[in-house]
A and B are shown apart, each in its own frame.
Chain A
Amino acid sequence: MVFPTPGGPLQALDNVALHIRRGEFVSLIGPSGCGKSTLLRLIADVIHPTKGAIEVRSAPPGRARLAREFGFVFQQPGLLVWRDALANVSLPLEVGGWGRRHTPPHRPEELLELVGLRGFERTYPRQLSGGMQQRVAIARALVTGPPILLMDEPFGALDEITRDHLNQELLRIWRATGTTILFVTHSIPEAVFLSGRVLVFSPRPGRIVEEIEVDLPLPRQASIKDAPEFSRHTAAVRRALAGGA
């Protein structure tokens, strides 16, 4: 993947090949600017690859986008500040009349409950904390029941306590919905805690330097982070990151 920039072409990704199985939780980790987010945006059909091909459920990303086969959670919540929490969650049902043409798998109220925001339906984003706003964004991404959830450093802007809490919630949501999750992060413990597989990227141009299977048992509690197996995995990721640099 090459971007034209004022300083000449910039190669963001090089020779990346990966295959993600249905229902998997895969994390992409790597140094800043290694193209992790670029890969996610390629999959989401926000940008187009200069070379190579991507298939989402055996179809080009553009088709998957039109069919709403993925939900996207950004680094910032990106909520519409003039809509209350419930109206933000139901936005994907309104756009393109999706809700009229399909039967949504969950009601927006149920999703707010799933992300732990019952009682905040009528609250506007500015009255919610950063963590709560991100929960609304997750509920919004899930409202059309997409088989895939793409998450671009969704908890990167949050403090560690909130982040740990939301990590646990996300695992619970993942198990409850069976969604395939592709998760971009900067945090080694976060990647290990959440994923079944961690893909480690080299600095620009991004390549996958190592693939680390995380065989920690599910469901995982926060206490697992103190266990020696957990440290073994984080050490492996750290070594791979150092090797790629």
Chain B
Amino acid sequence: MARELAPTSAPDAPRAVPAAPSARAQLVRRFLLPPIAFIAIVLLWQAIISIFSVPPYIIPTPASVARTLVVQRGVLWINAVPTIFESLGGFLLGNIVAIATAVAFVNSKTLERTFYPLAVAIRTVPIVAISPILVLLLGNGYAPKVAIAALITFFPTLVNMVQGLQAADAQALELMHVMSASKSETFRYVRWPSSLPYLFAALRVASTSSVLGAIVAEWIGSNRGLGYLIVLTTFDFRTALLYSAMVLASAIALAFFLFISILEWAVVRWER
């Protein structure tokens, strides 16, 4: 392991922490650079419209999108609520099923051999192709949207979780054996905690893709939701509202992502 080979200043001293950049440089990097990048993109957007005189029904100006976000907030909110619930429901369902499946796989090689290929097969079917099938099966309500958001989050979490549960330190597992630990103790004390960094990596991906899944599901057979609003405004050339819906959708995904990151920070304390 590289850790043991790392030179230490004194033979047996606590490991030195790599020299951190100054606190100010860190603050600038963390809190100043992202807004600067955002502003630069908005300026570029405006510049393209001005230089090529793009008509507003093709690309609206940043100012008009901002105005629409405020003026049309009622319409946007009514459509955001179902999308939020569908994403959340799909996120929870998909991840819980994925975690349970991973635990089953790790406990039974037979189950893994039998169903892993099936899980991969499900993954290869495009979501856009599955959604009409699910609408036919589950109707026009929340169910097909939740199912699609769940489906899109299921696979990455399953793969990561299986890997995480198997990534437990071999020596730690042998230690559990020497201590005559039961299978459930080995799971609780070693396998589960060592899988958490892998799980959170998957949850971060799932947090944004569940919103994507919900929106794609709303494209067909629905009359509410940001996905529905996006399709409707595209056909009506209400481009400013279309862009506003997009901005709102990514704001929701970003909020989910931030929430998961904060949760990870609080749970996976040992990695910081």
Contacts and interface: CB of A to CB of B under 8 A. Distances in A.
Interface string B175-208: 1111111100100011001101000000000000
B178 A46 contact: yes
Interface of B: 1, 3-8, 11-15, 17, 169, 171-172, 174-182, 185, 189-190, 193-194, 196, 268-271
Contact of B175 (A45, A72, A127, A129): A72
A78 B169 contact: yes
9 contacts: A45-B178, A46-B177, A76-B1, A82-B270, A95-B189, A96-B185, A127-B17, A159-B7, A162-B8
Given A78-B171, A82-B270, 6 more contacts: A72-B175, A82-B194, A96-B180, A124-B270, A129-B8, A159-B11
Interface of A: 44-46, 65-66, 68, 70, 72, 74-83, 91-92, 94-96, 98, 120, 123-132, 157-159, 161-162, 165-166
B4 A128 contact: no
Q: Which of A44, A76, A98 has the most CB of B within 10 A?
A: A76
Contacts, number: 98
A80 B13 CA distance: 20
A81 B15 CA distance: 15
Contacts of B17: 127
Chain B residues touching A, majority SS: helix
A162 B182 contact: no
A166 B179 CA distance: 24
Contact of B4 (A70, A74, A158): A158
A72 B178 contact: yes
Contacts of A79: 172
A158 B5 CA distance: 7
B1 A68 contact: no
B48 to A, nearest CB: 48
B180 A68 contact: yes
A80 B190 contact: yes
B11 A131 contact: yes
Contacts of A78: 169, 171-172, 174-175
A127 B172 contact: no
Contacts of A158: 4
B11 A165 contact: yes
B15 A46 contact: no
A44 B171 CA distance: 14
B189 A80 contact: yes
